[in-house]
Structure 1
Amino acid sequence: MAFPLVALLFLVTARWCLEVAHAGRQVFDVTDFGAVADGQTDDSKAFLRAWMKACAAPGRPAVVVPKGEYRLHPVVFRGPCKGYMELRLAGVLRAPDDLAAFRGSHEWVNFAGIDGLLVTGGGTFDGRGASSWHLNDCPRKPDCTPLPVSIKLGRVRNVTITEVTSLDSKFFHVIIIGSQDVAIHRVTIRAPRDSPNTDGVHIQGSSNVRITDTAVATGDDCVSVGPGSADITVSGVSCGPGHGISVGSLGRHPGEEDVRGLRVSNCTLAGTANGVRIKTWRGGLRPAAGVSGLVFEDIVMRKVRNPIIIDQEYCPYSSSSCRHESALLPSVVKISDVKFKNIRGVSATQVAVKLSCSGASPCHGLELRDIDLRYVKRGVATESRCANVAGGVAGGTLVPPSCI
């Protein structure tokens, strides 16, 4: 009888150890707080109860979302919290189809004022955008009301989002604003090619943001870098379909802050409307944002329409707003110290390099080095076009020939 007794003691001890370890992790399962996971019930209050309980716990508490479908109305996961928070999402979160459920909210899932957060677990944020895309008039009207963003990181620090999917956002998938030390790593972002304004990740007023090893396929920019962004890294991103990787648009509003220190490297763009792009509005009022310290290198283009483009005559509307007197003035945004290095592949248009700078603030310090962009039609050479480039250098392989 000694062996069974030893075995029993071992099992009891092992179970006790597991319970202690479980307690030490401070796990807060949303189903313990009333989440139903049937895809129909509004589980928002259960999620907020679990979050608030975890937020008050020390150490590294985890809000756990098991597999299943959870219907979630707009929620704000607010800090500061006592410990380093984790949202471990294994299930699927589904946004409301009806915009009335947002009651004026501009975001669906909002992480606000948190210092220390990990979002992971293999799950999905399903924005259910197809029900609302036809209501989006922003591509046509400059004074539109934007649809809700799927995920907002607002005034946060030390945040990592990894191993999750953002699907079919109503507007932008992820927006990072007023934040520092944010990492987006191994994330999948998907929406159809014709879905309007479904930018993958938009960064604004933030610093030390890293987007790495991420796949983005949307109807707008895969990554967009807005005013006040500094020390941004985009690496290992696959982009397409979409509008490419963009700085801007800038210069639409007076007093915008500079964009400084962006490095885009080891990325692949396939079938996109643009490759790497800087876009600023015509006209504008001083003081205006400046753009400096940008590096685009080691990038592959696959049938991209505008592989390398600086567009300081940006105006996406066909209405009278693009013909307004102020819009006919040159851009006041100053672009300097921008490097394009080792960019190769296939251009879907004959003009593979277009550097259209401002007559009021010509581009300075541009560099083109080891550019090899061939036209999709064999036997036809690609071209470069430049306007208002005041200074720069070019070297190495240059296909098409440099216009600097």
Structure 2
Amino acid sequence: MAEVRRSFPGFALGILILSLALVLGSEAAGLRRSGETVFNVKAYGAKGDGRHDDWQAFQKTWIAACHHPWKAKMLIPRGVFLIGPVIFQGPCASPFPLVVQIQGTVLAQTDLSLYMGQEWILFEYINGLILMGGGTLDGQGSEVWKYSDCNVNSNCQMMPMGVKFFRVDNAIIRKLSSVNSKGFHLAINNCNNITLTSLRLIAPADSPNTDGIHLANSNMIVIEKSEIGTGDDCIGMIEGAKNVNITNVRCGPGHGISIGSLGKFPDEEDVMGITVTNCTFTATDNGVRIKTIQGCQPSKASKITFENIVMNGVRNPIIIDQEYNPRGKKLTVPSMVKISDVTFKNIQGTSISQEAINMVCSKAVPCQNIHFENVNLTFTPILGGFKMLDATSTCTNAVGNSFSGTQIPQVACH
């Protein structure tokens, strides 16, 4: 997976600059309902025919709703809306969360020359946001994936991500459906207190770098009750991810739920307080994974729990890889990311590789306080006719570990 580090986007080139008259006259295009004013993109010129680019109408609608001093909703009604890249920027005038409701289908332009930034839809500098689904965001990635080599080149030119949240605080994203994103479906960067619930993020298993949710430098994030099946990580967390609670997520296809790569950038913030519970992985390349880069500057990943996890035909159910190098060439300088206080509890199911647990920790800063409790993983080869073999494990450079309950396979660290 090619990761995106923290970024500080400003005004994108080409944003429509609206006059003060439009802002002051926005009430005329709004429909007041139950104490909230609804700003319908069609009232601001959106065609909704799937052929005309409606980005200017979307931009006008957002500006009007954001400047409204009371409860406001931006409505994308039923229909098919084609838009290029658009920025929804705050801060907004109302003390109430601004609601964005997607009832129709929103199609992304497929001309890559239109995307000056990293994303298709950007929400930034907003305190209080409710993004409601019901419709679908269609990135039309199948039209452009052929131009990407991200499945084989970690330093590839990334495709535009679907929706990015940058410096957004106190937000709820619910019942959002995203299909065939060009790059990441959702990215959360420098955000606080966000709940993502009842999501459906879908792309083919061979689609390049289509992570479901990519999370960095953010605190107090809840991801729950969601279905994620992509060509890369279902959920990926890198530097500065803190106090993240992931629960009741069905992952597959994809590369599992990953912490890392860590240590890729200078002066990375630590990762801590990650909890993954009651999740199911089906036919994924990995289950739960922590990976760090060799030869990096010191940082830490700690207080991480994976609990009540079901693995259905997963290639690498449990993996800690501190010799991860996306360029495919192992370095002689060890990773300097300290991994500690990690719990694997109540994890069961089947592995399609015999090595169901693979922990390769750093020689310089060994893993510390890794706890296994009630782990039961059996080896089930993809092809029939094989004599059943016991699952195995690898564990190197890990100290202070503890074990309780069922241990299949047995883990012996050295």
Determine if the TM-score, normalized by the shorter chain, exceeds 0.5: yes
Q: Judge conservation of contact 1:139–1:316 (CA < 8 Å) in 2.
A: no
Supply the AA of the counterpart residue of 1:75: V
User: What is the Cα deviation at residue 60 of structure 1?
Assistant: 2.2
User: What is the Cα deviation at residue 296 of structure 1?
Assistant: 0.3
Distance 2:286 2:133 in 1: 32
Distance 2:361 2:349 in 1: 24
Distance 2:315 2:151 in 1: 20
- Tell me which residue corresponds to 2:388: 379
Q: Out of 354, 365, 386, which is 1:361 matched to?
A: 365
Q: Out of 247, 260, 283, which is 1:271 matched to?
A: 283
Distance 2:198 2:276 in 1: 16
Q: Does 1:239 align with 2:266?
A: no
Q: Which has the higher strand share?
A: 2
Please list, as runs of the form range in 1=range in 2, the aligned pairs for 1:182-261 lying within 5 A after superposition. 182-261=194-273
User: What is the Cα deviation at residue 228 of structure 1?
Assistant: 0.5
Distance 1:183 1:138 in 2: 29
Q: Judge conservation of contact 1:271–1:305 (CA < 8 Å) in 2.
A: yes
Higher Rg of the two aligned structures = 1
**TM-score, normalization by structure 1:** 0.91
Distance 1:43 1:142 in 2: 34
Q: Aligned pairs, how many?
A: 377
Please list, as runs of the form range in 1=range in 2, the aligned pairs for 1:29-68 lying within 5 A after superposition. 29-68=40-79
Please give the root-mean-square deviation of Cα atoms over the aligned residues, in Å. Answer: 1.5
- Tell me which residue corresponds to 2:23: none
Distance 2:363 2:314 in 1: 27
User: What is the Cα deviation at residue 217 of structure 1?
Assistant: 0.3
Supply the AA of the counterpart residue of 2:159: L
**TM-score, normalization by structure 2:** 0.89
Distance 1:361 1:295 in 2: 20
Distance 1:294 1:263 in 2: 6
User: What is the Cα deviation at residue 20 of structure 1?
Assistant: 9.3
- Tell me which residue corresponds to 1:10: none
- Tell me which residue corresponds to 2:169: 157
Distance 1:295 1:143 in 2: 30
Moved over 6 A (4+): none
Please list, as runs of the form range in 1=range in 2, the aligned pairs for 1:301-380 lying within 5 A after superposition. 301-318=311-328, 322=329, 327-377=331-381, 379-380=388-389
Give CA-to-partner distance per residue, 1:146-194, whole Å, 9 cap, x none: 1111100000001111112011111111000000011110010000000
User: What is the Cα deviation at residue 289 of structure 1?
Assistant: 2.2
Q: Please list every run of 5 or more consecutive structure 1 residues that lacks an aligned counterpart in the other structure.
A: 1-18
Q: Out of 167, 186, 190, which is 2:179 matched to?
A: 167
Report SS of the residue matched to 1:82: coil
- Tell me which residue corresponds to 2:129: 117
User: What is the Cα deviation at residue 379 of structure 1?
Assistant: 3.0
Distance 2:34 2:360 in 1: 60
Distance 1:211 1:388 in 2: 32
Q: Please list every run of 5 or more consecutive structure 2 residues that lacks an aligned counterpart in the other structure.
A: 1-29, 382-386
Q: Which has the higher helix share?
A: 1
User: What is the Cα deviation at residue 142 of structure 1?
Assistant: 4.4
Q: Judge conservation of contact 2:31–2:39 (CA < 8 Å) in 1.
A: no
Q: Judge conservation of contact 2:272–2:302 (CA < 8 Å) in 1.
A: yes
User: What is the Cα deviation at residue 132 of structure 1?
Assistant: 1.5
Distance 1:308 1:370 in 2: 13
Q: Does 1:70 align with 2:70?
A: no
Report SS of the residue matched to 1:228: coil
Distance 2:234 2:43 in 1: 37
Distance 1:270 1:20 in 2: 45
Question: Percent identity of the aligned residues?
Answer: 41
Report SS of the residue matched to 1:380: coil
Report SS of the residue matched to 1:49: helix
